[in-house]
Amino acid sequence: MKPRPYMNPYLAGFFLGLVLLATIYVTGRGLGASGAIKDVVASVVKGTASDHYENAKFYREYSENDSRSPLISWLVFEVMGMFVGAFLSGILANRMTLRLEKGPGVSNKLRIVSAIAGGMLFGFGSQLGRGCTSGAALSGMAVMSLGGIITMFSIFGSAYAIAYFVRKLWIK
Amino acid sequence: MGPLVPEIFSGEFNLVIAFLVGIGFGFILEQAGFSSTRKLVGLFYGYDFTVLKVFFTAGIVAMIGVLILDHFRLLDLGLIYVNPTFLWSAILGGCIMGAGFIIGGFCPGTSFCAAAIGKIDAMVFILGSLLGIFIFTEVYPVLENIYLMENWGPVRIDQFLGLTPELYAFFLVFVAVGAFVMVTFIENRVNKRKTNLSRPVVLKYSFLAAIPFVIIALLATTPSRWEYILAKIREAREQQKCVIKEIAGDKLAYELQHNYFKINLIDVRAPEEYNQYHLPLAVNVPVDSMLNRGWDEFFTQEYKINIFYADEDTTAKKACLLANFLGKSENYVLKESTDQFRKMFFNPDQPPPAASKEIMDIYYFRIQAAEDLLNLEKALMKFSQPVKREIRKIKGGCS
């Protein structure tokens, strides 16, 4: 069966905006994503090197606030929901496939290396910038946060600036 | 009044909400095509601007929604999480993320969606971001300075630019609509498609684009709920229609002596003044903060009467009128000011020896009442501290 077409982008944006608004109304906070990865990292470090966990400065906010696992967090639950939601959407739209998506003429090896490198940069940057495209840029835009909007412009600005140099990854 | 967490929904239930919200978030991102890395990076090469369209539309819908909720006082903007601004880390972090975006082809949220439908590159990206965050936490001590530099706090951009929120929103929607039109032309040119400029299509999109402008214009030109309440009060005052019930100091003291549990004695002065001196058993609700939902329990209940006092009559009356608008509880103003009450009860003039019995009775009553009130306050302190309510600010963000 052929995959169904994607939703009209403005309609999707409208619905996404409503989800974000409902989240702000109910919980007083926006959406997020990278924070959940940080919670996973924190819990792995806590499990494998608890001495280090106690000492490392960046983890201190966890150990001070809470004795529970870093995984019991709002963002981790939200991200689990994201997996379920995207999975449902994928099934409904016939888009479930186990495959590696890449630009034309890019080898599998290069794609894997660039995905890891990109992930590392994004993960690193999300901690420095206090949030990623979801938590800082999108949610920041909704509550008119100056910092969130600066982060948003920095993300897209730098991606545009670098795009030309890595064009071989994506276009012919 | 929102936000509903933590006052209405508990912390544990909040996690259930998070899961449900996530389902909606993930579903929509996937439906929009954010699970495809080539679609995501399309905007940087001009062949697919889906990201920009979805992202901007979502941001604007949510932003206007927040403005609407605020307008009708359904959401307390003072409580929601506004990402703080740390100038250098925001710029530097954003630039590193941008590089990660164009090299890796995802951002964290979209990589989850893509991984959920089986994209191997997305799973690898997630692995990479785990490593990246681990590295950051390891080198954090070196970066701490940059991380904390130029801390401007939770500034909003409209405040920063010196605009009203509505004006900023108007401006942003204008930019967004302009961008939508422009990228549609670029997209079609890059893909060698013809732009559909047929009348119905243009009309449809113009109509849709006009909606946010109309909403923002209405928000800017109609009084908000708060302004409405204040205007009502001013009007009532000008027409001398205010029905303010007053209670005399002696009556208050008597009631407190015998029925303290039926009374909220509310000091509406600033916290500093309250801390310096306040009447026994009084709680502090500064008049400027009366709309904070933390105080709702005083103004919407029907079991206790509220008695307001301040240093001068107008402040107490304003508070009382506000309270009348906020809820159904019974509200009174203390006739005496703080100092008058204090003098009457805690520092009374000894009546002349030839005073009538009536005056002597009042004198002794006041001395007795003063003692009783202080004792009551001491006794109640042990049970339940006259509540100084902490309104918890919500923590959020993604870092």
ipTM: 0.96
Residue B293 sits in the same domain as residue B205? no
Whether B161 maps to a domain, the answer reads yes
- B320 or A32, which is more confident? A32
Q: How far is A53 from chain B (nearest CA, A)?
A: 10
Report CB contact under 8 Å: A72, B59: no
The span from the CA of A1 to the CA of B39, in Å, is 21
Residue linked to tokens 């995984």: A71
State the average pLDDT over residues A5-12: 95
- B374 or A126, which is more confident? A126
Report CB contact under 8 Å: B69, A103: no
- Residue of chain A whose Cα is closest to the Cα of B84: A147
* Range 142-161 of A in CB contact (< 8 A) with B: 142-161
Q: How far is B284 from chain A (nearest CA, A)?
A: 25
How large a percentage of chain B has pLDDT more than 70? Answer: 93
* Range 64-83 of A in CB contact (< 8 A) with B: 72, 74-75, 77-83
pLDDT of residue B398: 57
Q: Of A80, A133, A147, which has the smallest distance from its Cβ to B107's Cβ? A: A133
Whether B123 maps to a domain, the answer reads yes
pLDDT of residue B115: 97
pLDDT of residue B258: 86
State the average pLDDT over residues B27-42: 95
What residues in A contact B22, CB-CB < 8 Å?
A: 77-85
Residue B117 sits in the same domain as residue B48? yes
Interface test with A, best of B1, B61, B97 (most A CBs within 10 A): B97
Residue B293 sits in the same domain as residue B331? yes
What is the average pLDDT score of chain B? 87
pTM of the shown model: 0.82
Phi/psi of residue B153, each to 5°?
A: 75, -175
Domain residue ranges in chain A? 1-98, 100-172
Q: How many domains would you assign to chain B?
A: 2
What residues in A contact B58, CB-CB < 8 Å?
A: 13-14, 16-17, 20, 138
Whether B388 maps to a domain, the answer reads no
Residue B29 sits in the same domain as residue B130? yes
Whether residue B173 is predicted with pLDDT greater than 80 in this model: the reply is yes
What is the average pLDDT score of chain A? 91
- B19 or B357, which is more confident? B19
CATH number at residue B322: 3.40.250.10
pLDDT in tens, B231-285: 877 787 777 666 788 888 888 888 888 888 888 889 888 888 888 888 888 888 8
Lowest model confidence (mean pLDDT) among B108-112, B173-177, B287-291, B307-311:
B287-291
- Residue of chain A whose Cα is closest to the Cα of B52: A9
* Range 134-193 of B in CB contact (< 8 A) with A: 134-138, 140-141, 143-144, 146-147, 152, 154-160, 165, 168, 180
The answer, for A103 touching chain B at a CB cutoff of 8 Å, is yes
The answer, for B127 touching chain A at a CB cutoff of 8 Å, is yes
Residue B110 sits in the same domain as residue B178? yes
Residue B329 sits in the same domain as residue B275? yes
Whether B57 maps to a domain, the answer reads yes
Residue B276 sits in the same domain as residue B219? no
Whether B256 maps to a domain, the answer reads yes
Residue B28 sits in the same domain as residue B168? yes
Residue B82 sits in the same domain as residue B54? yes
Highest mean pLDDT among B5-14, B25-34, B65-74: B25-34
Q: Of B109, B119, B157, which has the smallest distance from its Cβ to A101's Cβ? A: B119
pLDDT band at A18 (very low <50, low <70, confident <90, very high): very high
Report CB contact under 8 Å: A145, B156: yes
pLDDT of residue B376: 85
Q: How far is B87 from chain A (nearest CA, A)?
A: 7
State the average pLDDT over residues A102-126: 95
Report CB contact under 8 Å: B18, A78: yes
What residues in B contact A89, CB-CB < 8 Å?
A: 26-28, 30-31, 113, 117
> Which of B172, B191, B225 represents a domain boundary (last residue)?
B225
pLDDT of residue A59: 80
Lowest model confidence (mean pLDDT) among A41-45, B80-84, B394-398:
B394-398
**A137 Cβ neighbours under 8 A, 6+ residues apart:** A131, A148, A149, A151, A152, A155, B55
Whether B330 maps to a domain, the answer reads yes
pLDDT band at B390 (very low <50, low <70, confident <90, very high): low
Interface test with A, best of B12, B82, B102 (most A CBs within 10 A): B102
pLDDT of residue B240: 67
Residue B175 sits in the same domain as residue B100? yes
Residue B163 sits in the same domain as residue B61? yes
What residues in A contact B107, CB-CB < 8 Å?
A: 33, 122, 132-134, 155
H/E segment holding residue A18: helix A9-27
pLDDT of residue B392: 63
Report CB contact under 8 Å: A156, B98: yes
Other beta carbons less than 10 A from residue B88's beta carbon = 15
Report CB contact under 8 Å: A112, B124: yes
The answer, for A124 touching chain B at a CB cutoff of 8 Å, is yes
- B124 or B345, which is more confident? B124
- Residue of chain A whose Cα is closest to the Cα of B8: A26
Whether residue B384 is predicted with pLDDT greater than 70 in this model: the reply is no
- Residue of chain A whose Cα is closest to the Cα of B70: A25
Report CB contact under 8 Å: B160, A27: no
Q: In chain A, how long is the greatest CA-to-CA distance?
A: 54
> Which of B225, B258, B274 represents a domain boundary (last residue)?
B225
- B6 or A43, which is more confident? A43
pLDDT of residue B243: 72
pLDDT in tens, B191-240: 999 888 899 999 999 999 999 999 999 999 998 887 888 787 778 777 76
The answer, for B332 touching chain A at a CB cutoff of 8 Å, is no
Cis peptide bond N-terminal to B108, omega within 30? no
The answer, for A7 touching chain B at a CB cutoff of 8 Å, is yes
The answer, for A135 touching chain B at a CB cutoff of 8 Å, is yes
Whether residue A67 is predicted with pLDDT greater than 70 in this model: the reply is no
pLDDT of residue A17: 97
What residues in B contact A78, CB-CB < 8 Å?
A: 18-19, 21-22, 25
Residue B284 sits in the same domain as residue B207? no
Q: How far is A31 from chain B (nearest CA, A)?
A: 8
Whether B355 maps to a domain, the answer reads yes
Report CB contact under 8 Å: B97, A152: no
- Given the DSSP bridges, would you call strands B305-309 and B263-267 parallel, antiparallel or unpaired? parallel
Whether B399 maps to a domain, the answer reads no
Structural domain range at position B57: 11-225
Q: Angle at CA B33, nearest 5°, toward B30 and B35?
A: 60
